[in-house]
Copies of this chain bind each other. A is one copy, B any other.
Amino acid sequence: MKGIFYGIGVGPGAPDLLTLKAIKALESVDVIIAPKTEKKDGSVALSIAYPHLKKDFEIVHQVFPMVKDFASSPESWKKNKEQILKLLESGKNVAFLTLGDPMFYSTYIYIYRLLRDEDVEIRTIPGVPAFCAIASKLQYPLVEGDDIISIVPATASPEKIEAALSASDNVVLMKVYRNFSEVVHMLKEKNLAKNAVMVSRCGLPDETVNEDIESIEQMPNYLSTILTRRRK
């Protein structure tokens, strides 16, 4: 029998934020596909999954060229696809792990696209996104009533960020890093700086929380998220 391909959201980083469904899937997995140039993200996901995996599970490393070049690197993606199909055909259950939710800014989306037109059973298991975990931890209500919330990567163009800030009551800003002072300036202009809170390296031992983002002078860590709202 052919194996199943799983996209598993392991949640935001805390091992106890795994769902029962994710655990059940992990217990059936034979092979984990992991990026060759493993970023911190990937190894955190694997360490969360680890206690639930079979003793003899295998890791298959694959090269995922920058996702922006998805269309321009058909060869390496094709190679990855063929390797995965071979594993599935040999009856192995194969999984790709995602921190947070797999349908939310993840490499899994590209692997899913690669496989969706093949004769493969794909099961995607949702997870708790990081911004929900941050909100609960800081007891920061994300959105209520008829309010509109936008989730904005700070890597988007300034024009797009500005338009989203104008159109939203509440905002989650992700990947706040290089353009930090520009982002703070925009938040101030849109009356969104006062109630903002920034979390860096959430859940990690050196996590920091800052409730006065206008006072921050250093460039924040790469893994920084701002939650904000116009109304108190």
Contacts and interface: CB of A to CB of B under 8 A. Distances in A.
Interface of A: 7, 9, 11-12, 14-21, 23-24, 67-68, 101-106, 109-110, 112-113, 116, 122, 124-129, 132-133, 135-137, 139-153, 155-157, 160-161, 163-164, 166-168
A126 B128 contact: yes
A7 to B, nearest CB: 8
Contacts of A102: 136
A63 to B, nearest CB: 19
Taken together, the copies of this chain in the complex come to 2
A50 to B, nearest CB: 15
- The majority secondary structure among interface residues of chain A is mixed
B146 A149 contact: no
Contact of A19 (B19, B137, B144): B19
A136 B126 contact: yes
Given A18-B20, A128-B128, 9 more contacts: A11-B19, A16-B24, A113-B141, A125-B136, A126-B135, A147-B156, A148-B150, A148-B156, A164-B168
A164 B169 CA distance: 10
A104 B142 contact: yes
Contacts of A151: 143, 148-151
